[in-house]
A and B are shown apart, each in its own frame.
Chain A
Amino acid sequence: MHDNTYLIILACAVVTYMTRIGGHMILSRFGSPHYRVEAALEAVPTAVLTALVAPSLLNQGPAEALSIIIAGAVALRGSLMMSVAAGLVSLVALRFVLG
């Protein structure tokens, strides 16, 4: 392993913290943001979390893809807990059925 393991760990920790506080620090330097920036910020949860999950839809298999669609559909009407539970039950069932 590396000679300077702790140096790497600490540098990675600092960089990670900078990304986590950085967006807020940059934004709070300006007054109230332009309406287009406002709209973009409003879309952050949808946009980034969708991008995070997207590969799971295609790189796993049909059981995984279907369970994601089921979890999403249930979440439109029901609670988050119901959505995760429905996705999980259908995943285990589909994996069993589809092999």
Chain B
Amino acid sequence: MTSKFDRSQSHRPQSYNNQYVSRDIKDGLRDALPIMAAIVPFGAVFGAVAIDSGLDFQEMLVTSLSIYAAASQYVMIDLMGQSLPVWSIVLAVFAVNFRHVLYSASIGRKMTLFSPFQKACAFFLLVDPQFAASETRAATVGLRPAYYFSYAAVIYITWIASNCVGALFGSLIENPATYGLDFILPLYFTGLVAGFHKRPNFILVLLVSGGVALLTYFTIGSPWHITLGGIAGLIVAAAQSRPPQKNNPEKNNSDRNILENAHEDGTGLEEGTANA
């Protein structure tokens, strides 16, 4: 089982542990702080709703500790109230959480510095903001375990603690809409998406994913807009992609032409290297 997780552990630099840990922890905490403000009201409402719909405190706590996926926890609570068969509740949760398969495939490749055990734990904690922040981190300074887990600790503890507050003092919760807190998560995800604007075909992927998601949302309905919109964007990105240069039989030829023409046409060399 362990060999599947990590094939690159032997590449781990010896100096990793000392050199980066404190900066990674600091950055992880710093990046997680802004969305604490969004999680607290959201989590408190979940705690209150769970108790309201008939779970006792311990059941609510086990739900959040073991599932740790806000949207699907709401779905589960909602369906449990309707006394549906177990399999249909589990299937609905699977549908809401299907996007994580894509997150996992994408971020898993960037966990080269994680041990097998660290990976197993990391995937348990792979919620939406965790994925988005980790992708951003991987694209800038590289994703290391200390960053991942310090960020995760803030989100996980905040989620659980706010659930407990909501469950205990549900009736005292103010309407989060008063301060716009109900809308922080969409804003946060929007900011993160815009941060990926240098990736290939960004605008095209954005328009196709958004368009298909809206179409699905208003026809088939939630939560299918996430998976169908997401997959539509991936298909477009795959269709637009070009084979890497090294598999291109014309490469050697064009390299020679570029070198020959470089002094005449300054753009030739840049074009050759940009796609390499």
Residues of chain A touching chain B, judged by Cβ–Cβ distance below 8 Å, are 1-2, 4-13, 15-17, 19-29, 35-60, 64, 67-68, 71-76, 80-81, 83-84, 87-88, 91-92, 95
Closest beta carbon of chain B to A8's beta carbon, Å:
6
- Report Cα–Cα, A47/B57, bound state, in Å: 37
Partner of A54, one of B67, B213, B235: B213
Complex Cα gap A57–B62 (Å): 34
Compute how far the CA of A82 lies from the CA of B205 in the bound complex, rounded to whole angstroms.
24
A to B contact number (C-beta, < 8 Å): 291
Q: Is the CB of A55 within 8 A of B217?
A: yes
Q: What B residues does A54 contact at CB under 8 A?
A: 209-210, 213-214, 217, 225, 229
Tell yes or no: B168 within 8 A of A by CB.
Answer: no
- Give the complex CA separation of A37 and B205 in angstroms: 15
Q: A19-B101, A23-B106, A91-B187 given; name 7 further pairs at CB < 8 Å.
A: A12-B90, A24-B108, A27-B108, A35-B242, A50-B213, A51-B209, A52-B226
Assess whether B233 is in contact with A46, with CB atoms less than 8 Å apart: yes
CB neighbors of A among B55-72 (8 A): 55, 59, 62-63, 66-69, 72
Q: Please classify the interface of chain B as helix (H, G, I), strand (E, B), loop, or mixed, using the class held by over half of its residues.
A: helix
Residues of B near A20 (CB, < 8 A) are: 97, 100, 103-104, 123-124, 126
Known A1-B81, A6-B59, A56-B186: A44·B194 in contact at CB below 8 Å: no
Residues of chain B within 8 A (CB-CB) of A27 are 105, 108-109
Looking at chain A's contact residues, is the secondary structure mostly helix, strand, loop, or mixed?
Answer: helix
B34 to chain A, nearest CB (A): 6
| Given A9-B59, A52-B226, A55-B213, A15:B104 Cβ within 8 A | no
B94 interface residue per 8 A CB criterion: yes
The residues of A that contact B242 with a CB separation of less than 8 Å are 35
Determine whether the beta carbon of A11 is less than 8 Å from that of B86.
Answer: yes
Residue from A51, A83, A87 with most neighbouring chain B CB atoms (10 Å): A51
- Considering the complex, give the chain A residue whose CB is closest to the CB of B1: A25
Q: Mark B162-189, 1 if CB is under 8 A from A, else 0.
A: 0000000000000000011001101111
Known contacts A43-B199, A50-B206, A28 near B108 by CB under 8 Å = yes
